[in-house]
Amino acid sequence: MHDVIVIGGGIVGASAAYHLAKSGAKTLLIDRRDKGRATDAGAGILSAETSGASLPASWFPFALQAVGYYSPLIGELESEGVGDTGYAVTGELIVAVDDDELDAYAEKKRVIDERQHGRGLPSVEDLHEVSPAEARELFPALGQVQKALYFSGAARVDGRLLAAALLKMAERSGLANRAEGVDSLIVEGSRVTGVQVGSETISADQVIIAGGAWSVAFGTQLGVQIPVEPQRGQIIHLSLPETDTGKWPIVDAFHGHYMVAWADSRVVVGATREVGSGFVPYTSAAGVHEVLGEAMRVAPGLSSAQVADIRVGLRPRTADNLPVMGGIPGVEGLYLAMGHGANGLQLGPFSGKLAAEWALGVENGVDISAFSITRFGG
């Protein structure tokens, strides 16, 4: 008998398991380890202040809390010596290269300015426009840009490393792991009491579903629609031997792509957003062409880089691009934490923490009403 079963071992599930095990709860993580998990391919951009400009207003305060949680979390992990997570504050450039990006740049800057003035943060020293020349000094591979906004507080993290660190710490605190799939939930009356894995029934007081895009499979049994679908994202790792890229900032332009530099002479560029992809995490010629074409448009200085790796992730996307968080009406003992889409690494550790607290009966006071599954009806 377990106190809590967590379904899914991506960043959300790993965080939930970490916080549960650390609290002393007898916790079991069940993870099928499907190919194409979004955590393993995410860029890891952490910048609430400059993200989600087109999303509903409810997203921003939650994202601020989520990104703000990184500092104490990384501090905990570092103090325990569980290994590198790839976390670093690198700064971010938002750039408009071509004329067709100028209106989008102006609108995004307007939203960012409103947030900045409304909160009195970040300071103008930390978030401000820079000249095209200053932008190229910060990211030498950039081409000619017309407009650039710089935020010094943006950070990045390696999703694979962070999830592994969380699970390593959780295992030290007694977490049990099973590399299997959950066939169904065990429901007695209106309460979930465990899961079925093959012929084995595993009992638990609480269950957290954090299975990313694969979570939709539990909806039929529960009599609800879990409106999460996979969105394929192809991301390419470029190597620039003997180039110090460790202090280069993140770069965002306005054709839906980004660049993230790392300390090992590597720049990650991406990503495609392939709606209707299904659960097929493959690399396509069209996807590679799109990603590299956009990278060369914004940063032609990357043209001589070596292609070191191509990763594919299936983002768990909802129709309104907001996560699905909390319980399901009429079903006790069950919590959802999924649907973070392209913001999984940004929101995931905090979401996992909240899910753990719900399962433990801890009042955290965080408003997740906008993320309830009830917003979809039915």
Query: CB of 267 within 8 A of CB of 305?
Result: yes
Share of the chain above pLDDT 70, in %: 100
Residue 225 pLDDT grade (very low, low, confident, very high; cuts 50, 70, 90): confident
Model pLDDT, residue 374: 93
pLDDT for residue 301 is more than 60: yes
d(CA 169, CA 161): 12
Model pLDDT, residue 243: 96
Mean pLDDT of 119-126: 96
pLDDT for residue 4 is more than 90: yes
Q: For residue range 320-332, what is the model confidence (pLDDT) as tens digits?
A: 999 999 999 999 9
Query: CB of 307 within 8 A of CB of 289?
Result: no
pTM: 0.96
Model pLDDT, residue 378: 55
CA-CA-CA-CA torsion sign (329, 335, 341, 343): positive
pLDDT for residue 220 is more than 90: no
The per-residue b/e assignment along 188-199, b for 16 or more CB within 10 angstroms, e otherwise, is: eeeebbbbebee
Mean pLDDT of 247-276: 96
Exposure of 370 by Cβ count < 10 A (0-12 exposed, 13-18 middle, 19+ buried)?
A: middle
Helices (H), the chain: 11-23, 38-41, 59-68, 70-79, 102-119, 132-138, 159-172, 219-222, 285-298, 344-360
DSSP state of 187: E
Give the amino acid at 247: K
Q: For residue range 134-154, what is the model confidence (pLDDT) as tens digits?
A: 999 999 999 999 999 999 999
Mean pLDDT of 340-366: 96
pLDDT for residue 83 is more than 90: no
DSSP secondary structure of 254-294: SSS-EEEEETTTEEEEE---EET--S-----HHHHHHHHHH
Query: CB of 192 within 8 A of CB of 331?
Result: yes
Model pLDDT, residue 138: 98
DSSP state of 57: T
Mean pLDDT of 205-224: 92
- Domains annotated for the chain, with CATH where assigned, are 2-43+160-227+320-376 (3.50.50.60), 92-152+229-317 (3.30.9.10)
Mean pLDDT of 242-271: 96
